[in-house]
């Protein structure tokens, strides 16, 4: 089969499309023929050398067909999805309805489950609350906007000025990074995957007893903020840690997407051999939502 293999840490240029042996399923495994691959920010981190020794096949999310039954499925939390075939544990394989195309299914996995864990399970977001999403153009940012709106929350979301029309198209109140209005939204939950450039505003934006949820930092992770603001608002800063697998949550996300109540945004679809171009586009902040690879 063909797969994108990393033999050394580095930039996008280290991604190589190669012929490798087909993976062999063991007991409790499922062999899936991949139709669409969702690129996640963690893939870029691994490529740059942040996790595990090379050689390795990147990726954790994919949609495709079970080789044993032909059933359409989503595979998530499974290493090695940048390939034509992937072996996954049965518990990480989810049936998807015909109403959900492969690209949208592949866009769900890591971003939507991470966002649900962050803003709902940890942040406690519910109908009628106010949600602020910093970095709405990222995959997890777009997923958080989508989930917040589906729950009946009032959603504010930030991005670069040139992307604000796309934020509005999601149904959120769009604000540019650093807009003074960001500090006035009184959010019950703030989702901030950015870091230093937005964190102080995120704390200022809290409502009483609100929570800033931190899934990571795509920018500078060393932040500063006014601690008196946090104290006066009885605010909370919540890191998400390592998201535990939750089959019920992922099945719910699939069902909502299949019913059209969640709508993952796919920025572009590229062939597997253009994986390096996909990584470059994400790193250059050119994308909005998800980038999908097609074998």
Contact yes or no for 112/182 (Cβ under 8 A): no
Per-residue confidence at 269, pLDDT binned at 50, 70, 90? very high
Lowest mean pLDDT among 27-41, 46-60, 64-78, 261-275: 46-60
CA atoms 280, 281, 285, 290: torsion sign: negative
Q: Which domains, and CATH codes, for the chain? A: 2-95+265-294 (3.90.180.10), 111-239 (3.40.50.720)
Is the overall model pTM greater than 0.75, yes or no? Answer: yes
Question: What value does the mean pLDDT take over residues 234-238?
Answer: 98
Dist CA 129 CA 146 (whole Å): 14
Per-residue confidence at 181, pLDDT binned at 50, 70, 90? very high
Q: Which of 33, 40, 43, 111 is nearest to 73 (CA)?
A: 33
Q: What is the pLDDT of residues 84-134, one digit of tens each?
A: 999 999 999 999 999 999 999 999 999 999 999 999 999 999 999 999 999
Strands 61-66 and 72-75: antiparallel
């Amino acid at each position: 089969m063909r797969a994108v293999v990393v033999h050394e840490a580095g930039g996008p240029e280290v991604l190589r499309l190669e012929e490798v042996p087909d993976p062999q399923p063991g007991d409790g495994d499922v062999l899936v023929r991949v139709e669409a691959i969702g690129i996640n920010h963690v893939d870029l981190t691994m490529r740059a050398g942040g996790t595990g020794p090379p050689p390795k096949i990147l990726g954790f999310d994919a949609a495709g067909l079970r080789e044993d039954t032909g059933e359409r499925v989503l595979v998530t939390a499974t290493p090695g999805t940048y390939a034509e075939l992937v072996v996954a544990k049965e518990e990480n394989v989810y049936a998807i309805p015909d109403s959900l195309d492969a690209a949208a299914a592949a866009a769900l996995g890591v971003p939507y489950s991470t966002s649900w864990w962050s803003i709902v399970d940890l942040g406690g977001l519910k109908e009628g609350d106010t949600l602020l999403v910093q970095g709405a153009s990222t995959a997890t940012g777009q997923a958080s906007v989508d989930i917040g709106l589906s729950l009946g929350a009032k959603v504010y979301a930030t991005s670069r000025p040139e992307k604000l029309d796309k934020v509005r198209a999601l149904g959120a109140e769009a604000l540019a990074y650093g807009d003074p209005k960001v500090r006035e939204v009184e959010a019950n939950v703030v989702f901030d995957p950015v870091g230093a450039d937005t964190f102080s505003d995120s704390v200022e934006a809290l409502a009483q007893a609100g929570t800033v949820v931190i899934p990571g930092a795509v920018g500078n992770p060393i932040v500063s903020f006014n601690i008196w603001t946090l104290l006066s608002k009885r605010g909370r800063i919540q890191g998400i840690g390592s998201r535990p697998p939750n089959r019920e949550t992922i099945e719910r996300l699939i069902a909502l997407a299949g019913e059209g109540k969640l709508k993952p945004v796919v920025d572009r679809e590229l062939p597997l051999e253009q994986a390096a171009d996909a990584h470059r586009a994400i790193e250059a902040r050119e994308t909005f939502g998800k980038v999908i690879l097609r074998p």
